[in-house]
Structure 1
Amino acid sequence: MRADAPTAPVELSVVIPAYNEERRLGPTLDAVGRRLDATGSHWGTWEILVADDGSTDATRELVTVRRDPRIRLVTGAGSGNRGKGHALRLGVAASRGRHVLVMDADLATPVEELEHLEKALADGHAAAIGSRAVPGATLGDRQHRIRELLGAAGNLLIRRTTLRGIRDTQCGFKLFEGDKARAAFAASRLNGWAIDVEVLRHFQRVGWPVAEVPVHWSHQPGSKVRPGDYPRMLRDLVRLRIPVPRPADVLVVVLFLAMAVTLCSGRFLDPDHRYLTDSLQDQNQWEWFFAVTADNVAHLRNPLFTDLQGFPDGVNLMANTTMLGLSVPLTPVTLLLGPALALSLVMTLGLAATAVAWYRLIVRRVVRQRGAAFAGAALAAFAPPMVSHANAHPNFVVLFMIPPIIERALRLTSGARVTRDAVVLGLMAAYQFFLGEEPLLLAALGMVLFAVAYAAVRPDVARQAARPLLNGLAIAAAVCLPLVVYPLAWQFSGPQSYAGIDHGTAPGVANSVRALFSFAERSAIAGDAGRADALTLNPTEQNAFYGWPLALLALAITVRLWRQPAVKALACTAVAAALLSLGTRIPLPLTGTTFPGPWSLLAGLPLFESVIESRIALVCAPPLGMLLALAIGGLAQARRLLTQYAGLLAVCLALLPLLPAPLKSEPRAETPAFFTDGAWKTYVRDGETLVPVPLAEPEAAEALHWQTAADLGFRMPGGYFNGPLGEGDRTGVYGVPLRFTASLLRDVRQTGVVPVIDAAARAEAREDLAYWRAGALVLAPQRYEERLRETVDKLVGLPGRRVAGVWVWDLHQGTQEGG
C-alpha cells in the first residue's frame, strides 16, 4: 500500500525501483538530493520516490528514517518480489512531478547526466532516454563479456521486433513528461525488466516523440539481472508482439456485441424471412448490392457496373453506396449463405466493431478509465442518429475505420515517424473510400472543425504541429489518390454517372432546432414517432434527436471542464456541426424570418452539394461521447462519494431517454415460387429482360429481392439506385426516369384505377417493351392485383397466365393491335 503523500504538484519526481538495495541506495539518495538542491539547479520543487519491490533487507528503513519529507517510500499491497516493472508502475503512479525521472539505484548513470535529458525535453520531445549506444556516449567500467554479448543480442532483438529507431532501451536513466509517463506506465502490464520496452513502445504507438541521448555509464557491481532473467525478458517481448487483452477490454467487446445483436435482433436470427419495417425499400437495395457485387466478383466482371437492373442503361455501382470494401471480401459469405445474411452480419458486427474502435481511440487519447471510455464509445456508436441509420444505411453505421483514421492523423502532429504514419493514413483513407465516401467526407469535416477549434485554444501547439501534419497529409494524399483515382473517374465520368442530387427543401433535409433537442422514434422511453416523422425525411434519416437532457449535460460538462483545451475543442466541434446541419437558412424561433446559415458557405462546393444537410449532425456524436467520457473519468477520481453519486446520477438521467429499442421488424413477404423454383427461365431468353408489374422503383423495390432469389439470373428494367435523369441531363435522381408504361403501371398501383387503354397507349407500350427487350411481364400478388392484371391485358393484347404464384405475359407469343 502506498504511503500517504502530499498532493501539491512538483517540478521533478525521481522514481527509483529498489529490491534489497541497502548497500547502494543510501549514497544514491544523497547524490540525487545534493544535485537537485545544488546552487544553480532550476528544480525548485522535487521528490524522490523509492518504489520497494518486497525487499527483505533494510532497504525500506533507509528511506523511512530520513527526515526529508521529499523522500518517500512507495510499497505495493502484499509482499514478495514481483519485478522491476511492478515497482516502477507503483512509483510513477504515486508521482506528482511535471517531469518524471526514472533511474536505477546503482548510479550507473550519474545524476549529472540529467541536464542532457532536460535539453531534449525542452526541444519538444515527450521522453528522453539515456543511451550507451549512440555517438557521444562514454563508458567507464565495463560488464563481463558474456553479459555484454547478452545485452547486445537483446537490444538487437528489440530493435528488429518491437522498437524501431531506438538502440538502447535498458540504460535505466529516462526522463519523461509527467502526465505522459503516468499514462504510459498505467497502461503497462509487464512486471519484469522489459517494462522499459513496453513503455517506450506505448510512446511510439501514440505518437509521442522520444529522444535517445548519449550519457556516461559505468558498470556497478551487484546487478540484479541474473542469467535466468533473459528467458523471461524474451517471453515478455513475445507478449508485447502478441498482446494479451485486458479483461476489461474483453468485457467491453462482449458488451458492444451484445448491444448490436439486441438492436438488430428483429432480423439477426432469421434474416431471410424478416424485414426491417423502417428500412422502407433500402433493405432490398442493400441486399441486391451485396448480391450483384458477389456475382460480379465470382464471374470476374467489372465490380463498378452492372446492367442487371436499370436495363438497358445499367447502374454505375461506384456512384452508389455498394460498400465494396466489405461486399467484395464477403463474396464467399454472400454466395454460400445469401445476401440477407451477409447484410445482417455487416450491420451487426459493423456496429460492434465501430463502438470498439471509438473505445480504443478514447482510451488512447481522451481518458484511460475503461468505464468512462465505454460510456463515451457507446454514445458515439449508438447515438439516436446511428440507430436510425441502422435501419437501412450500413455505410453510416459501419464506421470502424474512422477512429483509426483520426488516431493516425493525430500521430502526424507529433512530428515523429511522419512518413510511416502518413502512408498508413493514406491506405486507411483509401479503404474507407470503399466503405463510404460520404461518411469519410463528414469525418474530414469534423476533424477540420476540431483542428480549427483546438488551434484557436492552443495556438502554440498548432504552430508546432502544423508542419508535420501538412507534410503527412500530403504524403497520405499521394498514397491514397492512385488507389482511388480510377474508381473516382468511373464514378463521376463513367456510364450512368451523375453530377449530384438535389434533395430540395422538404422537412428533414436540414435539421430544425427542435430536431436537435427532441427524442428519436426508437428511443425506448421518450420516443415520439409522430413528432420525429414530422421533423425528418423518413425514419432512416433521423439525423439529430440527441434530446434536451443530453444537451444540458454536455453544457454542464463543458462549463465544469472548460479549462481543458480538449473540452473547448470538442464542444466547439459539436456546436459547429449542429449549426451546419441547420442548412442554408436558419429560422428564427417564434418568428417567420430566417437568416443565412453557415452551411450556405459550403452548399455549392463540389461533393458538398449532394450532402443531406441534416446528416452533418452525425458529426456531433463522437465529440459528445468524448465529453461524456471525460466527465465520467473525472467523477471516478473525485474524492467525495456524494460528488461521484450526484454526477453519475445526472449522467444516467441524461442518457436514459436515449436508450434505443430494438429495430422494428416484420415477417417478409414470401418470394413467389416462379422465382425460387426457376420457372422464369422458360420465359426469359438470352439478352432479354423480365419486366415486373409495376417496375421496381424507390417506393416499391421488392422485385430486387425476387431477382436475388433467382440468383440474378435475369435482367430487368427499372430499379432502385442513383443515376442520371437521362436525355443528356446528368442531374442525379433516385431510380430510373419513368417511361410511359412504367408511369402508367405505377399510377394503377397507387390509385387502383384502370386507365383508358387506346391504340396510342398500346403503341407506347410496344415501344417501351422493345426498348427494354422484354421477354415477359410478371405480376406478383399485391394490392390492386386485379386492376393491374386488367391493365396489362389491355396494354399487350394478351391474357396473362397463372404460373407458380404469379401472372405471366409471355411476349414471345406477340402482341395484338386490338384489345
Structure 2
Amino acid sequence: MSVDLTVVVPAYNEERRLAPTLAAIRKYLDDGYAGHTDGADRPRWELIVVDDGSTDGTLDIAADAEAADSRVRLIHSGRNRGKGHALRLGVLASRGDRVLITDADLATPIQELECLDKALTDGHEAAIGSRAGADATIEAHQHRLRELLGRTGNFLIRTVAVPGVRDTQCGFKLFDGDRAREAFAASRLRGWGIDVEILQYFRRSGWPVAEVPVRWAHQEGSKVRPFDYVKVLAELTSLKARTVRPVDLLVVALFLSMAVTLYSGRLIDPGDRYLPSSLQDQNQWEWFFAVTADNVRHLHNPLFTTLQNQPDGVNLMANTVMLGLSVPLAPVTWLFGPAVALNAAMTLGLAATGVAWYWLIRKRLVRHRGAAAVGAALAAFAPPMISHAHAHPNFMVLFMIPPIIDRALRLCEGDGSRVVRDGVVLGLFTTYQIFLGEEPLLLAAMGMLLFAAAYGLVRRDVARDAIRPLARGLGVAVAVTVPLVAFPLYWQFFGPQSYASVLHGDNSGNSPLALLSFAERSLAGSEETANALAQNPTEQNAFYGWPLIALAFAIVVRFWERAVVKALAFTAVAAALLSLGPKFRIPLTDIVLPGPWAPLAHAPLFESVIESRVAMVCAPVLGMLLALALARLLDAGRPMTAARYAGVAAVALALLPIVPAPLRAVEREQPPAFIADGTWRRYLGEGESLVPVPLPDPAGAQALHWQTTAGLGFSLPGGYFNGPWGPDRIGIYGASPRNTSNLLRDVRDSGRAPRLTDAWREAAREDLAYWKAGVLVLAPQPHDAALRETVEQLLGRPGKWVDGVWIWDLHRGS
C-alpha cells in the first residue's frame, strides 16, 4: 500500500526519549497532519524507527510501538554504524510520497512539518528545517561555548560544502519520496556528514531545496557534540577523496614523471648543476629564494633588501621573488639550500600546473579523462612553458590560473546563493597569484577577456544572464583582494627602489614564423633556427610548430558550430596577433606593418610586458581544442572507424615534433675558496660590501652564487634585478651604472685595459666609498689579466693572491 508520508526516526540508545517521541508523532499524524486519507478516513502515513545497534532498551520500546500500531515499522541494525547508515536504511525502506527525517529528541517539534510541507507543495523537492535566520525560534539555547563551536562548525561546513544553506545539520528535513530514495541510495557516508552529502546530491541534480525557519529547543542528552562538526568535515573530505579514480592518480603520476624527466639533469646534486640556457637567471632565482628565506628566518622586511645593489638596495616586491612559493619553501631553503628549493618549486610546480589544467578541462569541457590529460599536457608542457622552465618559475608554475578561471565561470553561472562566496574565493585566489606572478595573471586576464568577449557575442543570451552576477562577484573579489595587496603593491610601485616601467627594447614581439617553427628543446627543434627567431632561449614564447597549428585549424573548422570552439579560436588568433608586438615584418619581405599591440605598448602595466609572451595564452587554448577533438574521437559510445583512427593519429603526429627534451645541465662553476671557506670574513667590517671584479650584472651574476654559498653573509654592489634608472625612474636590469662599474664591464667585454687618468682614479674612490667597499675580489675568468691591470691602475697598488682569487684590501690602502 502506498502512503503519503513516511517519518524516519534514527535511534541509538534513546530509551529515555523514544517512547514520548513516537507517541507525539503518532498523535500529530492522526489528529493534525493535513495529509490525504484512505477509505478508512485515516491519514496514510508510516513511521519507521531505525535502531542503530542500541545497547539499552531502545530496541524493546520500538518493538512495542510496532506491535501496537501496524503503521510503525522497526528496522534493527546489529551494531552501531552511525546516523548516516541508519538514515539510509530507513529512507530506502520507505514508501511515502514524501519522507520526513526527524531526530529522536524532537528538538524541532513535529508540528513544524506543516511549514516544510508547504515548501514542497510550492514546488521544492526538499525542505530543511533551519535554526538560522530572524524567523527561526530558539526556545532553549545550548551552553554558549557549545553553541559557538556548533555555529563555527556549521559555518565551515556550509562554506566548504553547501554554500547558500545556513543550517545544514538541523535534523528535521522533508523530501520528495522518490528523490530521497535516489539520493540516499547513492550516498556513502555513515556518520553525521550524510546530511551534507544528500544536500550536495540535490544541488548537483538541480532539484530545488528550501530552507525553512522552524522552532527549535536544545534537548539535554543530545547525541550531537560540537566537535562532531569536525567529523563531518573529515567525512566529506574522505568522500571527496573517494571520487578520485585510479586513472586520475595515473595522470598525476604522468605529469610528475614528465616534470622530473625535464629536470633530470639537475635532480642529483642540483647545487652543483647549472642550466646553461637559463643564462644568469638560475643564479638570480636561487638568490631570490635564499634572501626570502633569510628574511623569514630573521623577521626582516620580505619586500626589500640591501644584499644586492649596496647601498641603495632592491625592491623585492618589484622583482619576481614569488613570495607565494619562496616563503612556504623557506624551511627547504634553510635545510637544503636555495638550489634544492628552486628545483623543488619548479619540478613540483610544473606537475601541479598540469594537474590543475587537467582538473579544469575535465570539469568544464570534456568528461573523457584521456582527452583531458592530453589537453592539459599541452597546456602545461607546451614549447613556451619549456622555454621558461629553464629559470622562469613565475611563467611555468601556473597552478592557480585554472582555479581562477573556474571561479570566474562559476560567477557567470549566476547562482545567487554562491556569488558572494565565489567572489571571496576568487579574491583570495587572485591575491595568492599576485604573490606568484603578476605578469602571468595579467596575461591570463587578457586571455579570459578575449574568450568572454567572443563567447558573449556568440551566445548573447548567456552573456545577458551572466553579466550581473559576474559584475557583483568581481566587485566582491576586488573588495577582498585590494586590502590584502594594497601595501605590497604600494611598496612595489612607490616604495624604495621602485620604478615606472621596464625597458625591453623597441620591439619584443614574435616573428610570424616563430608561431610555425619548433623550439630549441622540442624533438624537432633546432637551436640555430629558434635563436634566430627569439630573444634568447628563455624567451621562445611561441614555437608551436606548423603541424599543431594546422591540426587546430582543422579542429576549429570541424567543430565550428559549437560556441566554445568559436570563442577558443578567437582567443588563440587574437593572442597570436597581439604577440607580434607594436610592429612586425612580413616574413621573406621588407614590409613592416603596425601590430595590434601598438595601442597597448605604452599603457600602464602593459608597457612592462614582453609582448611575445602573449603567445603563451595559446597553450591552454590549443590544449582545450585538442581535448574537445580527442573526446569526440575516443567516445566509447561510438564504434571506432578508420576516420577516427586517422584523427587520433593526426593528433599524435602534431604533438610528436614538440615533445620536450630534458633540459641540458652542466657542471657548475664553483665559488672560489676565498668565498666557500669563509676567508672573506677577515676582510669585511660591519656594513661593508664585497666588490666582485667586475661588478655582478645581468650578463655575469655568478657573484650571487658566491653570496648564497656564503649564507648571505656580505652585501654586494651592483647585481641582477630590476631597479630604477635616471630621474624618470625607468626600470632597467641591474644597478644604475657608475663610472667604475661601466669601466670594469667594458674591460671584461673587450679584454683590453685602457690607460687611466687621475679623473678615473678619483671616480673610483667616490664609487668605492659609495658602495661602502671593504675588499675587491677578482676570480679567475676570461680577460682577468686585463681586469687585474685595470684595478691596479685605479688603486695604485698590486693585488694579493688569497685562496684562489686576487684581492685588494681597502683597509690597507686607498
What residue is the counterpart of 2:654 in the other structure? 654
Given that 2:202 and 2:209 are in contact with CA atoms closer than 8 Å, whether structure 1 keeps it comes out as no
Query: Helix, strand or coil for the counterpart of 1:671?
Result: coil
Given that 1:323 and 1:435 are in contact with CA atoms closer than 8 Å, whether structure 2 keeps it comes out as yes
What residue is the counterpart of 1:562 in the other structure? 560
What residue is the counterpart of 1:425 in the other structure? 426
Partner letter of residue 108 of structure 1? Answer: D
| 1:785 positional shift | 1.7
Pair 1:551 & 2:549 matched: yes
Give per-residue Cα distances to partners, 1:321-376, cap 9 Å, x unaligned: 00011111211111111001000000100000111111111111111111111101
Equivalent residues, number: 656
What residue is the counterpart of 2:809 in the other structure? 810
> Cα gap change, 1:209/1:502 in structure 2, threshold over 3 Å: closer, same or farther?
farther
- Give the Cα–Cα distance (whole angstroms) in 2 for the partners of residues 234 and 711 of structure 1: 43
- Give the Cα–Cα distance (whole angstroms) in 1 for the partners of residues 582 and 551 of structure 2: 28
- Give the Cα–Cα distance (whole angstroms) in 1 for the partners of residues 128 and 776 of structure 2: 83
- Give the Cα–Cα distance (whole angstroms) in 2 for the partners of residues 471 and 773 of structure 1: 54
Given that 2:189 and 2:197 are in contact with CA atoms closer than 8 Å, whether structure 1 keeps it comes out as no
- Give the Cα–Cα distance (whole angstroms) in 1 for the partners of residues 639 and 429 of structure 2: 42
> Cα gap change, 1:161/1:282 in structure 2, threshold over 3 Å: closer, same or farther?
closer
- Give the Cα–Cα distance (whole angstroms) in 1 for the partners of residues 758 and 737 of structure 2: 20
Within a 5 Å distance, the mapping from 1:721-732 to structure 2 comes to 721-726=721-726, 728-732=727-731
Moved over 6 A (4+): 116-120, 155-161, 191-197, 233-236
What residue is the counterpart of 2:499 in the other structure? 498
What residue is the counterpart of 1:314 in the other structure? 313
What residue is the counterpart of 1:733 in the other structure? 732
> Cα gap change, 1:559/1:119 in structure 2, threshold over 3 Å: closer, same or farther?
farther
What residue is the counterpart of 1:643 in the other structure? 643
Query: Helix, strand or coil for the counterpart of 2:774?
Result: strand
- Give the Cα–Cα distance (whole angstroms) in 1 for the partners of residues 174 and 617 of structure 2: 41
Within a 5 Å distance, the mapping from 1:327-346 to structure 2 comes to 327-346=326-345
Q: Please, which of 97, 108, 112 is the counterpart of residue 108 of structure 1?
A: 97
Query: Helix, strand or coil for the counterpart of 1:500?
Result: coil
What residue is the counterpart of 2:579 in the other structure? 581
Partner letter of residue 663 of structure 2? Answer: L
Partner letter of residue 600 of structure 1? Answer: A
Pair 1:446 & 2:444 matched: no
Query: Helix, strand or coil for the counterpart of 1:544?
Result: coil
| 1:117 positional shift | 9.6
Query: Helix, strand or coil for the counterpart of 1:496?
Result: coil
Tell me, which stretches of 5 or more residues in structure 1 are unaligned?
Answer: 1-84, 86-102, 111-115, 121-127, 136-154, 176-180, 216-232
What residue is the counterpart of 2:176 in the other structure? 171
Two-structure CA RMSD over aligned residues (Å): 3.3
Partner letter of residue 247 of structure 1? Answer: P
What residue is the counterpart of 1:388 in the other structure? 387
- Give the Cα–Cα distance (whole angstroms) in 1 for the partners of residues 779 and 791 of structure 2: 13
Within a 5 Å distance, the mapping from 1:458-537 to structure 2 comes to 458-505=459-506, 509-524=508-523, 526-537=524-535
Give per-residue Cα distances to partners, 1:81-137, cap 9 Å, x unaligned: xxxx9xxxxxxxxxxxxxxxxx99957259xxxxx99997xxxxxxx73447699xx
> Cα gap change, 1:132/1:748 in structure 2, threshold over 3 Å: closer, same or farther?
closer
What residue is the counterpart of 2:372 in the other structure? 373
Which deviates more from structure 2 when the two are superposed, residues 235-244 or residues 627-636?
Answer: 235-244
| 1:586 positional shift | 3.7
What residue is the counterpart of 1:617 in the other structure? 615
Given that 1:294 and 1:327 are in contact with CA atoms closer than 8 Å, whether structure 2 keeps it comes out as yes
Tell me, which stretches of 5 or more residues in structure 2 are unaligned?
Answer: 1-83, 85-91, 100-118, 132-153, 213-231
Given that 2:274 and 2:282 are in contact with CA atoms closer than 8 Å, whether structure 1 keeps it comes out as yes
> Cα gap change, 1:454/1:192 in structure 2, threshold over 3 Å: closer, same or farther?
farther
What residue is the counterpart of 2:88 in the other structure? none
Partner letter of residue 609 of structure 2? Answer: V
What residue is the counterpart of 1:667 in the other structure? 667
> Cα gap change, 1:263/1:200 in structure 2, threshold over 3 Å: closer, same or farther?
farther
Query: Helix, strand or coil for the counterpart of 1:108?
Result: strand
Which deviates more from structure 2 when the two are superposed, residues 398-407 or residues 791-800?
Answer: 791-800
Please give the TM-score of this superposition, normalised by the length of structure 1: 0.75
| 1:643 positional shift | 3.2
Pair 1:700 & 2:737 matched: no
> Cα gap change, 1:289/1:202 in structure 2, threshold over 3 Å: closer, same or farther?
farther
| 1:415 positional shift | 2.1
Partner letter of residue 646 of structure 1? Answer: A
> Cα gap change, 1:202/1:691 in structure 2, threshold over 3 Å: closer, same or farther?
farther
| 1:751 positional shift | 1.5
What residue is the counterpart of 2:292 in the other structure? 293
Within a 5 Å distance, the mapping from 1:52-63 to structure 2 comes to none
Please give the TM-score of this superposition, normalised by the length of structure 2: 0.75
- Give the Cα–Cα distance (whole angstroms) in 1 for the partners of residues 650 and 624 of structure 2: 16
What residue is the counterpart of 2:778 in the other structure? 779
> Cα gap change, 1:197/1:605 in structure 2, threshold over 3 Å: closer, same or farther?
same
What residue is the counterpart of 2:33 in the other structure? none
- Give the Cα–Cα distance (whole angstroms) in 2 for the partners of residues 169 and 587 of structure 1: 70
What residue is the counterpart of 1:630 in the other structure? 628
Partner letter of residue 336 of structure 1? Answer: L
- Give the Cα–Cα distance (whole angstroms) in 1 for the partners of residues 194 and 526 of structure 2: 54
Given that 1:765 and 1:795 are in contact with CA atoms closer than 8 Å, whether structure 2 keeps it comes out as yes
> Cα gap change, 1:169/1:559 in structure 2, threshold over 3 Å: closer, same or farther?
farther
What residue is the counterpart of 1:211 in the other structure? 208
Pair 1:538 & 2:539 matched: no
- Give the Cα–Cα distance (whole angstroms) in 1 for the partners of residues 155 and 664 of structure 2: 58
- Give the Cα–Cα distance (whole angstroms) in 2 for the partners of residues 396 and 158 of structure 1: 35
Partner letter of residue 408 of structure 1? Answer: R
What residue is the counterpart of 1:257 in the other structure? 256
Give per-residue Cα distances to partners, 1:264-289, cap 9 Å, x unaligned: 11112221100001000000000011
Partner letter of residue 671 of structure 1? Answer: P
> Cα gap change, 1:685/1:209 in structure 2, threshold over 3 Å: closer, same or farther?
farther
Which deviates more from structure 2 when the two are superposed, residues 379-388 or residues 559-568?
Answer: 559-568
Given that 1:385 and 1:544 are in contact with CA atoms closer than 8 Å, whether structure 2 keeps it comes out as yes
Give per-residue Cα distances to partners, 1:215-252, cap 9 Å, x unaligned: 9xxxxxxxxxxxxxxxxx99976742654521111111
Give per-residue Cα distances to partners, 1:744-784, cap 9 Å, x unaligned: 11111111111102322222211211111111100111111
Query: Helix, strand or coil for the counterpart of 2:125?
Result: strand
Query: Helix, strand or coil for the counterpart of 1:245?
Result: coil
Given that 1:162 and 1:240 are in contact with CA atoms closer than 8 Å, whether structure 2 keeps it comes out as no
Given that 2:707 and 2:713 are in contact with CA atoms closer than 8 Å, whether structure 1 keeps it comes out as yes
> Cα gap change, 1:132/1:299 in structure 2, threshold over 3 Å: closer, same or farther?
closer
Given that 1:725 and 1:731 are in contact with CA atoms closer than 8 Å, whether structure 2 keeps it comes out as yes
Give per-residue Cα distances to partners, 1:652-694, cap 9 Å, x unaligned: 0000001000011110001111111110011111111110000
Given that 1:169 and 1:197 are in contact with CA atoms closer than 8 Å, whether structure 2 keeps it comes out as no
- Give the Cα–Cα distance (whole angstroms) in 2 for the partners of residues 769 and 497 of structure 1: 24
Partner letter of residue 359 of structure 2? Answer: R
What residue is the counterpart of 1:359 in the other structure? 358
- Give the Cα–Cα distance (whole angstroms) in 2 for the partners of residues 290 and 694 of structure 1: 24
| 1:477 positional shift | 0.2
Query: Helix, strand or coil for the counterpart of 1:802?
Result: strand
Partner letter of residue 125 of structure 2? Answer: I
What residue is the counterpart of 2:744 in the other structure? 745
- Give the Cα–Cα distance (whole angstroms) in 1 for the partners of residues 724 and 624 of structure 2: 41
Given that 2:361 and 2:624 are in contact with CA atoms closer than 8 Å, whether structure 1 keeps it comes out as yes
Identity %: 61
> Cα gap change, 1:364/1:649 in structure 2, threshold over 3 Å: closer, same or farther?
same
Which deviates more from structure 2 when the two are superposed, residues 534-543 or residues 245-254?
Answer: 245-254
Query: Helix, strand or coil for the counterpart of 2:208?
Result: strand
Query: Helix, strand or coil for the counterpart of 1:777?
Result: strand
Given that 2:125 and 2:175 are in contact with CA atoms closer than 8 Å, whether structure 1 keeps it comes out as no
Partner letter of residue 485 of structure 2? Answer: V
| 1:597 positional shift | 2.5
What residue is the counterpart of 2:225 in the other structure? none
- Give the Cα–Cα distance (whole angstroms) in 2 for the partners of residues 160 and 288 of structure 1: 40
> Cα gap change, 1:712/1:412 in structure 2, threshold over 3 Å: closer, same or farther?
same
Which deviates more from structure 2 when the two are superposed, residues 551-560 or residues 693-702?
Answer: 551-560
